[in-house]
Amino acid sequence: MKIIIFYFIIFLNLSSSYAAKKNIDQNQIYKNLRCLVCQGQSISDSNSDFAQTIKLVVKDLIKQGKSEKQIYTFMADKYGDWIVYKPQLNKQNFILWVLPYVILLGGGLVIFSIIRKKRKKF
């Protein structure tokens, strides 16, 4: 059980280091922005004028040397949080990001307790 938790923490770290890639992939950014005038499509998939404009803005921001994260913050400030597909980790979204892991650990504890109860008997 402890091993599982240990691995889990490692994977958490890995996944966050995975997110912090060095060179910026503009396609990746397009995919993570919502096309506000479409129904459930990203900037990358949409043919709308809005999507074309946002693409140009993103290219411009990359040229200015902004990081991926800065670009998302810029977009969220300008158009609202609705535009970014990856919710930012802030006070409001804290539960969203943390609850799944709490459930994962909680579920593990439940199974562990079921099995331990049985052990004590013998």
Partner 1 sequence: MLSNLGNILLFINVFLSVLIIYFASQNIKTSGNSISETIYQTTLLQTTLIFGCFFTLVAAFITSDFSLINVFENSHTSKPLLYKISGSWGNHEGSLMLWVIILTIFSFFFLINNKTHPKNYRLFTLIFQNIIILGFLSFILFNSNPFTLISPAPKEGLGLNPILQDPALAIHPPLLYIGFVGSSIYFSAAMASLITNYSEKFFAKSIKNWVLISWVFQTLGILVGSIWAYYELGWGGFWFWDPVENASLLPWFAMTALFHSLIVLEKRNVLYFWVIILCLLTFVLSVTGTFLVRSGILNSVHTFANDPNRGIYMLSFLCLMIFSSLFLLFKKYRKNNYNINFNSKETYVLINNWFMLFYLLTVLIGTLYPIFTDALTENKISVGPPFYNTVIIPVVVIFLFFMAIGPNVKWIKNKFDNLISLIIIFILALIINFIIVYFFKSFTILSNLIIISSLFLIISSLIDLKKSLEKSKFDLARIISHLSFGFLILFIGLNHNFSLEEDFNMKVGDTKSFNNYEIKFKKLEVKNFKNYKSLIGDLEIKDKKMSQIKTLNPEIRIYESPSTLTYEAAIKTNIIKDYYLTMSNIDRSDFYNIKFQKKPMMFWIWVSCMVLAIGGFLRVFQNAKSN
Q: Which residues pair with 73 in a beta bridge?
A: none
Footprint of partner 1 on residues 1-20 (CB under 8 A)?
Answer: 4, 7-8, 11-12, 14-19
Calpha distance 40→64 (Å, rounded): 29
Q: Is 107 in the site for partner 1 (CB under 8 A)?
A: yes
CB 46 within 8 A of CB 38: yes
Calpha distance 63→55 (Å, rounded): 12
Select from 6, 31, 67, 70 the one that contacts partner 1 (CB under 8 A).
31
Q: Is 84 in the site for partner 1 (CB under 8 A)?
A: yes
Burial class (CB in 10 A: 0-12, 13-18, 19+), 22: exposed
By CB under 8 A, name the binding residues for partner 1. 4, 7-8, 11-12, 14-19, 21, 27, 31-32, 34, 39-42, 44-45, 47, 49, 52, 80-87, 92-93, 95-97, 99-101, 103-104, 107-108, 110-111, 114-115, 117-119
